[in-house]
């Protein structure tokens, strides 16, 4: 009789059976997956942010390079000016121009500007899981035709 009374009292007290530890167990199983997903989103989001800024900087450099009086120094200055607001001016990026001397390019010829950097040299605080290898190359490319005078 006492056993039945205790079981009924436990059920009636909260309207449901007493269960201990279920929430803790479910949290322990789900939390690592949610944290890995969140950190992965942060890491890949920052990667695409850097890639987008490199593409924008390459476009700005190409825009300067196609003007008739452009020099290589003007192109690298434009790229530096585009990357500085994004905080990427000191990541050790490289600028590749094709052809190598933009001042000697004939009107109507294509000029390719590439801005690239190794992922390992960009903002180390934004790689919590290191899902993207440090040797991965992040780059932005722009191609435009040389304008006439």
Domain extents in the chain: 18-145
The model's confidence at residue 5, banded by pLDDT at 50, 70 and 90, is: low
Range in 27-31, 72-76, 121-125 with the lowest mean pLDDT: 121-125
Residue 9 reports pLDDT greater than 60: no
CB of 137 closer than 8 Å to CB of 116: yes
pLDDT in the model for residue 67? 94
Residue 13 reports pLDDT greater than 60: no
CB of 95 closer than 8 Å to CB of 75: yes
CB of 115 closer than 8 Å to CB of 57: yes
pLDDT in the model for residue 127? 72
Q: What is the SS3 assignment for the chain?
A: CHHHHHHHHHHHHHCCCCCCCHHHHHHHHHHHHHHHHHHHHHHHHHHHHHHHHHHHHHHHHHHHHCCCCCCHHHHHHHHHHHHCCCCCCCCCCEEEEECCCHHHCCCCCEEEEEEEEEHHHCCHHHCCCCCCCCCCEEEEEEEEECCCC
Range in 5-14, 20-29, 46-55 with the lowest mean pLDDT: 5-14
More confident residue, 100 or 15: 100
pLDDT in the model for residue 15? 59
pTM higher than 0.85, yes or no?
A: no
pLDDT 10s digits, 87-124: 888 888 999 999 999 999 999 999 999 999 998 888 76
pLDDT (average), residues 15-44: 85
The model's confidence at residue 18, banded by pLDDT at 50, 70 and 90, is: low
């Amino acid at each position: 009789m006492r056993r039945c009374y205790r079981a009924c009292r436990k059920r009636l007290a909260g309207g449901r059976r007493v269960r201990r530890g279920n929430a803790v167990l479910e949290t322990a199983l789900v939390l690592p997956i949610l944290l890995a997903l969140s950190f992965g989103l942060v890491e890949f989001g920052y990667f695409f942010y850097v890639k987008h800024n490199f593409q924008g900087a390459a476009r700005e450099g190409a825009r300067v390079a196609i003007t008739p009086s452009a020099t290589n120094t003007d192109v690298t200055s434009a790229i530096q000016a585009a990357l500085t607001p994004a905080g990427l001016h000191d990541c050790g990026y490289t600028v590749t121009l094709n052809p190598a001397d933009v001042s000697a390019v004939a009107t109507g010829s294509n000029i390719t500007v590439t801005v690239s950097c190794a992922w390992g040299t960009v903002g180390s605080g934004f790689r919590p899981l290191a899902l993207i290898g440090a040797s991965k190359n992040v780059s932005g490319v722009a191609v435009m035709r040389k304008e006439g005078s």
